[in-house]
């Protein structure tokens, strides 16, 4: 029995064992002896979440497409299987070869949300790799990370050798080729880091020093190497690589479908939205490229559902034609087509009618805020009438379930805005009752999350509301939204608090993460696993007041991520924050003049809309 077979013989003891076996259709298993560089692509959460993530799929196929490299996958094992690995003395392994992560040259983490940080440490530790960068030597893999969290990666600076900021597909091959060349030349880690830091999008936290003022604010961030990290960007998104060998899992995963990115970026300019800032500009793919890819993907996966994804798919220039063509092509073959997000208008409801012949499910609208004033503040120029028209269209088209998304604690929010949420929900309920006077199936789900200010957005200076304030607002909604039809749900305010601390934290939080992890933190985004006491003890031991990171910050304060350039200028963010305070809308540059956010000029890229000649 091989070593791994010994572990496998215990898989019947654990929940969802196919998380750990590999062998899914379309996985790529390359010969270890035929390549010079091995990369483990790691996602710090369970398999069914990690494999649902598009970004790692793109990189997996790009790296494996290189004749001298291979990439394998690894996800965070659930606690039952962690126990098996520990008791069998087998390291955390990649699914393809079953080799421990220590055998790889590079381990690359995708950091999609702050509450996955402690799980990164768990994974490194299970693999027998020292969790802190300074404790790793030449025999350890390089530990790199990317994803939206890399736009303020400071809390993870102690653990990650190098961050990739921005769109990884732009630079990953160049990065890995440099590492391969360096290995051949016998560069040590320091020399390697020096060379890698020259590449676009690369940020080596060890090349920067941070000084603090007596009050805890940052006095200065100094680049030792002189480089200033600038976000990587895909300039030709139309031809940018997208997965062709789409891995088909055995078990059900969170997004159990083919996902195809029809465009990158969103310029709606919602001021709270980090994705809307860090993935600029808008770049659409040609409908023909999309259709060709979809046909190939459906044929080679056998999947029964495909999704035309992007940050705002209803905004794609030719969305109606594309959707109709896709449905015409795939519906007869029993393949469902879907869009992940809808705008609040009857056009979007029409789109939904095209692809959802079954209206038993729900439609989701995200007004985000309760009053028109508040929505102008966040630059979500949706009117109450828009919502009523869209809701009525949805009800009249046969949907009986609507979901409405809101945020609590947005800048300048008053009681009136909370009341606005109640009133909006009530009006939609009334509308629903008019259309469906007799049914019990009518359901309005009101989902509220706590607003978490993020780095590189116009609200990066803004204060985050406290757990107590959040609870008070939630109580208000609960008391005022009692109804058989309305279902209210919300995010755990404590998790939002933690997310906010790390979203705008600095590198002093590394010690807190380390200590909390040592005390047993891990899988923090899983409400049942989250251990608040571990974190509170860690903050106390390190001597850090977490509220320091949630406070409002003046414009002249140095922010922990100020040395990282997202392409969007600080001036633009500031201007947007000021316009927010005055409730002035900023138009989408898709069909309006340039808003001078700076991204096109700073990164040497342009928006691309299909058929408008700007491509």
Q: Which helix (H) or strand (E) holds 76?
A: none
Q: How far is the CB of 301 from other proteins (least distance, A)?
A: 7
Tokens in use for 124? Answer: 């490194």
- Closer of 137 and 252 to other proteins (Cβ): 252
Closest CB to other proteins among 21 and 569? 21
- Complex with other proteins: residue 331 or 341, whichever CB lies closer: 331
Report the sign of the C-alpha dihedral through residues 273, 275, 278, 279, in that order.
negative
What is the full DSSP assignment across 105-145?
SEEEEE--SGGGHHHHHHHHHHTT--SSGGG--TTSPEEEE
Contacts of 570 (CB under 8 A, 6+ apart): 562
The CA radius of gyration of the chain, in Å to the nearest whole number, is 24
- Closest separation in Å from C-beta 603 to other proteins: 40
Whichever of 191 and 299 has its CB closer to other proteins, that residue is 299
Nearest to other proteins of 18, 602 (CB atom)? 18
Q: Contact, 418 vs 473, CB < 8 A?
A: yes
Tokens of 430: 């009334």
Nearest-10 crossing angle of helices 319-330, 346-355: 10
Task: Output DSSP code: residue 507.
Answer: T
**What is the separation of C-alpha 143 from the centre of its chain, rounded to a whole number of angstroms?**
20
**CA 177 – CA 169 distance, rounded (Å):** 13
CB of 249: closest distance to other proteins in angstroms?
Answer: 9
Name the minimum Å distance from CB 11 to other proteins: 6
Smallest distance, other proteins to C-beta of residue 2, A: 11
Question: How far apart are CB 63 and other proteins at their closest, in Å?
Answer: 21
Of 122 and 301, nearer to other proteins (C-beta) is 301
Q: How far is the CB of 344 from other proteins (least distance, A)?
A: 26
**CA-angle at 254, arms to 115 and 19, nearest 5°:** 85
Q: How far is the CB of 360 from other proteins (least distance, A)?
A: 7
Q: Which is nearer to other proteins, 179 or 247 (CB)?
A: 247
**Taking Cα atoms as reference points, which of 388, 370, 389 lies closest to residue 380?**
370
CA atoms within 13 A on the CB side of 299: 8
Strands (E), 265-400: 283-284, 305-309, 336-338, 362-368
What would the two tokens of residue 79 be?
């606690």
The pair of three-digit structure tokens given for residue 509, joined into one six-digit string: 């939080």
CA distance 73 to 243: 15
CB 4, min distance to other proteins, A: 11
- Contact in structure between 463 and 580 (CB atoms under 8 Å): no
Nearest distance from residue 5's CB to other proteins, in Å? 9
Q: How far apart are the first and last CA of the chain?
A: 57
- How far is it, in rounded angstroms, from Cα 67 to Cα 378? 48
Nearest to 142 by CA among 184, 191, 108: 108
Minimum CB separation of residue 98 from other proteins in Å reads 11
Rounded alpha-carbon distances, angstroms, from residue 414 to 373, 410, 460, 471: 11, 9, 20, 15
- C-beta of 14 vs 422, nearer to other proteins: 14
Strand duo 263-264 + 283-284: pairing: antiparallel
Q: Are 422 and 481 in contact, with CB atoms under 8 Å apart?
A: yes
Nearer to other proteins, 36 or 300 (CB): 300
Q: How far is the CB of 251 from other proteins (least distance, A)?
A: 6
Residues that bind other proteins (CB under 8 A): 1, 9, 11-12, 17-18, 21, 23-25, 248, 250-252, 299-304, 333-334, 357-358, 360
* Cβ closest to other proteins, residue 60 vs residue 502: 60
Query: Minimum CB separation from other proteins for residue 510, in Å?
Result: 38
CA dist 532 to 177, 495, 572, Å? 42, 9, 37
Q: Which is nearer to other proteins, 223 or 336 (CB)?
A: 336
Strand partners, 337: 306
Q: Any residues with CB less than 8 A from the CB of 492 and at least 6 apart, and which?
A: 527, 530
Q: Report the residue number, 335 or 349, with the smaller CB distance to other proteins.
A: 335
Question: Could you give the CA distance from residue 592 to residue 609 in angstroms, rounded to a whole number?
Answer: 13
Minimum Å distance from CB 24 to other proteins? 7
Nearer to other proteins, 1 or 214 (CB): 1
* Beta carbon of residue 164, minimum distance to other proteins (angstroms, whole number): 32
* 409, two tokens: 């604690």
Instruction: Give the largest Cα separation in the chain, rounded.
Output: 76
The residue (of 248 and 291) whose beta carbon lies closer to other proteins is 248
Q: How far apart are CA 334 and CA 337, in angstroms?
A: 10
Nearer to other proteins, 119 or 301 (CB): 301
């Amino acid at each position: 029995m091989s070593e791994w077979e010994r572990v496998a013989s215990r898989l019947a003891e654990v929940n969802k064992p196919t998380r750990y076996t590999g062998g899914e259709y379309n996985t790529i298993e390359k010969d270890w002896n035929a390549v010079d560089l091995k990369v483990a692509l790691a996602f710090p959460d369970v398999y069914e979440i990690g494999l649902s993530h598009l970004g790692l799929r793109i990189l997996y196929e790009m790296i494996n497409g290189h004749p001298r490299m291979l990439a394998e996958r690894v996800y965070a094992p659930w606690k039952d299987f962690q126990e098996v690995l520990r008791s069998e003395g087998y390291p955390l392994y990649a699914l393809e070869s079953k080799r421990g992560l220590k055998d790889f040259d590079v381990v690359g983490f995708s950091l999609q949300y702050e509450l996955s940080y402690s799980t990164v440490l768990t994974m490194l530790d299970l693999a027998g790799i020292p969790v802190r960068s300074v404790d790793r030597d030449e025999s350890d893999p390089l530990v790199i990370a990317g994803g939206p969290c890399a736009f303020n990666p400071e809390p993870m600076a102690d653990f990650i050798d190098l961050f990739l900021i921005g769109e990884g597909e732009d630079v990953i091959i160049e990065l890995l080729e440099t590492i391969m060349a360096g290995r051949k030349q016998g560069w040590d880690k320091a020399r390697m880091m020096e060379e890698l830091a020259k590449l676009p999008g690369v940020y080596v936290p060890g090349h920067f020093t941070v000084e603090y003022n007596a009050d805890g604010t940052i006095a200065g961030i100094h680049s030792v190497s002189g480089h200033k990290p600038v976000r990587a960007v895909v300039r030709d998104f139309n031809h940018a690589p997208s997965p062709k060998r789409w891995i088909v899992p055995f078990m059900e995963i969170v997004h159990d479908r083919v996902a195809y990115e029809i465009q990158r970026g969103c310029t709606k300019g919602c001021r709270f939205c980090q994705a809307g800032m860090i993935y600029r500009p808008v770049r659409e793919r040609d409908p023909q490229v999309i259709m060709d890819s979809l046909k190939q993907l459906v044929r080679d996966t056998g999947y029964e559902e495909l999704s035309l994804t992007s940050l705002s798919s209803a905004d794609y220039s030719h969305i109606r034609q594309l959707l109709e063509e896709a449905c015409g092509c795939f519906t007869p073959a029993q393949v469902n087509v879907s869009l992940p997000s809808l705008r609040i208008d009857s056009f979007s409801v029409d789109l939904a009618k095209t692809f959802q012949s079954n209206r038993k499910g729900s439609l989701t609208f995200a007004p985000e805020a309760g009053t028109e004033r508040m929505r102008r503040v966040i630059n979500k120029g949706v009117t109450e009438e828009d919502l009523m028209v869209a809701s009525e269209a949805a009800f009249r088209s046969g949907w009986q379930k609507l979901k409405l998304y809101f945020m609590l604690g947005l800048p300048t929010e008053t009681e009136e805005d909370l009341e606005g949420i109640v009133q909006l929900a009530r009006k939609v309920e009334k509308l629903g009752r008019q259309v469906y006077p007799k049914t019990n199936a009518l359901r309005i789900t009101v989902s509220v999350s706590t607003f978490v200010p993020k780095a590189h957005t116009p609200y990066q200076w803004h204060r985050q509301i406290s757990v107590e304030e959040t609870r008070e607002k939630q109580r208000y909604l609960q008391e005022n939204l009692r109804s058989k039809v309305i279902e209210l749900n919300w995010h755990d305010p404590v998790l939002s608090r933690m997310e906010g601390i790390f979203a705008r934290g600095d590198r002093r939080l590394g010690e807190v993460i380390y200590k909390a992890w040592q005390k047993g933190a891990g899988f923090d985004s899983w409400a049942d696993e989250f251990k608040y006491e571990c974190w509170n003890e860690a903050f106390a031991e390190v001597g850090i007041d977490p509220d320091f990171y949630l406070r409002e910050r003046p414009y002249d304060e140095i922010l922990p991520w100020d040395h990282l350039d997202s392409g969007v200028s600080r001036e633009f963010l500031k201007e947007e924050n000021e316009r927010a305070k005055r409730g002035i809308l900023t138009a989408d540059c898709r069909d309006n003049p340039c808003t001078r956010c700076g991204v096109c000029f700073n990164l040497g890229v342009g928006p691309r809309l299909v058929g408008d000649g700007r491509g």
